[in-house]
Amino acid sequence: MRILCRRTVAAMLADALGCGFVEADDHHSHTNKEKMSRGVPLTDEDRLPWPESLRDAIRERLDRSEDVAVSCSALRLKYQPSGETGTSGETGTSGASAVQAAGLSGYGARA
């Protein structure tokens, strides 16, 4: 049996679809990445700049009319990126670019 992490599955999906790929964890600050590597939970304050950085990376690709797959482990709804406003928590459309999010309904998600 083979176990694949979400990053690997999302990268494989992006490759199969011929689209770009954004890994949300790559958009944390260096300090946050160090904390996570040591198993230290991030605080809400630690996470403040993260959704905006992730939003910018996604928007940059969409502005180039590029399809993009996003891998994100944000379990709390308030940290999940939005398509419309770029803030977190909801999915929408922006101009001609539509962002569609798929997830496991209710699986580990906390508001």
Residue pLDDT, tens place only, 86-110: 444 433 333 333 344 444 333 343 3
Q: Residue 6: its pLDDT value, please? A: 83
**Does residue 109 fall inside a structural domain?**
no
Q: Residue 19: its pLDDT value, please? A: 92
**Does residue 103 fall inside a structural domain?**
no
For every residue of the chain, DSSP letters joined together read -----HHHHHHHHHHHHT-EEEEGGGGS-HHHHHHHHTTPPPPHHHHTTHHHHHHHHHHHHHHTT--EEEE----BGGGSB-SSSSSBS---EETTEE------TTSS-B-
**Does residue 104 fall inside a structural domain?**
no
pLDDT tens, 23-73?
988 999 999 999 999 999 999 899 888 888 988 999 999 999 999 888 887
Q: Residue 57: its pLDDT value, please? A: 92
**Does residue 110 fall inside a structural domain?**
no
Of how many residues is the chain composed? 111
This prediction's pTM: 0.62
Q: Domain range holding 42?
A: 6-98
User: Domain with 16 in it: what CATH number?
Assistant: 3.40.50.300
